[in-house]
Amino acid sequence: MAEEKQGFDTLAQHAGHTPDSQTGARAVPIWQTTSFVFKDTSHAARLFALEELGNIYTRIMNPTTDVLENRVAALEGGAAGLAFSSGMGAISAALLTLCSQGDEIVSTTRLYGGTVTLLSNTLPRMGINTVWVDSDEPGPFAKAITNRTKAVFLETIGNPKLTIPDLAGIAKVAHERGVPVVIDNTATPALNRPIEHGCDIVVHSLTKYLGGHGNSIGGIIVDSGAFRWDSGRFPQFLAPDPSYHGLKFHDTFGSLAFIFRARVLLLRDLGACLSPFNAFLILQGVETLSLRMARHSENALQVAKFLQDHSKVDWVLYPGLENHPSHERATLYLPDGASGLVGFGIKGGAKAGRKFIESLKLFSHLANIGDSR
């Protein structure tokens, strides 16, 4: 008899974890250790050669972090996850796993500011350039892709106007040209699962809605496991790797060549690993994800409607409002809510805006989103 498929909330509670076999502990333990004891010298050699998978050093793998990786991957409908110390760490590693000097990224302009600076300033110093597309439609992305393109980059809900790209349409034109789609889905899989719409690699800031309590910073990559890395566009997955004695990632790991290369090369060498304690804290947030995102979206819609009718408000942006340019697309890609982000303008310009911000009593003026407060 086939195993019954588990629902989203069940996965949020249980995916990636079984009670500890030695102690019987039901909650996920915090494995706060730097390293792990080998059974013998042969065991150590097999682990370091990637002939056997297991824990060596917490920078690369840790049992607590492993639960978080598997749980978020399950919620996204992906094949594997890889956690980092921040969302920018995850984005940087994802793109550097795909790109080398002379390569290009085709990206939407509607991005988080940190990603914009990565693509505009840091990666060009490594010889990786970005072609910008100021559109949410497939056509301009198709025209921007060349033989040097190694990734199309999107966000589920774009900054700053909260527009929503045509995920399925853009994925289709990218795949027709042999290019994977990388998407920042910090809006969370409780609202949108980009892999179901054709995206290949999902990245998150775990700091935001997934963690949800403003007490820990983290990031994650989720690999769909569906992209063909042996097409010839990505020789790094086919060529022998000198740091692993000639191992070929696609020959060894098949459809998971991307996520393994990201772990054992980029995470190994750049060192942006998530601490086990932060992984534990973020797991607490993941358990209540769908409940919180439903309430975030409900509250944001009510606030947006209130602001829309207020005499001192000039304009309001929220995909859940019928007059938002992406409202129709929001009903397709975000059927369970349009998240907790609302944009609006105060009549009277910058002076009035500053007075409004500095007069707030309940809302906090800070550089984060997704907190429970």
- pLDDT tens digits for the chain (373 residues)? 456 789 999 999 999 999 988 899 999 999 999 999 999 999 999 999 999 999 999 999 999 999 999 999 999 999 999 999 999 999 999 999 999 999 999 999 999 999 999 999 999 999 999 999 999 999 999 999 999 999 999 999 999 999 999 999 999 999 999 999 999 999 999 999 999 999 999 999 999 999 999 999 999 999 999 999 999 999 999 999 999 999 999 999 999 999 999 999 999 999 999 999 999 999 999 999 999 999 999 999 999 999 999 999 999 999 999 999 999 999 999 999 999 999 999 999 999 999 999 999 999 999 999 998 8
pLDDT, position 4: 76
Helix H or strand E encompassing 44: helix 41-48
Domain boundaries, the chain: 38-277, 289-359
CATH topology for 38-277 is: Aspartate Aminotransferase; domain 2 (3.40.640)
Q: What is the pLDDT of residues 118-146, one digit of tens each?
A: 999 999 999 999 999 999 999 999 999 99
Instruction: Residue 76: name the closest of 217, 193, 250, 234 by CA.
Output: 193
* Structure tokens given for 134: 């100021």
Q: Is 171 helix (H, G, I), strand (E, B) or coil?
A: helix
Q: How far apart are CA 356 and CA 363, in angstroms?
A: 11
**Which amino acid is it at 36?**
F
Helices 289-308, 276-286: crossing angle, 10 deg rounding: 70
CATH topology for 289-359 is: Aspartate Aminotransferase, domain 1 (3.90.1150)
pLDDT, position 1: 43
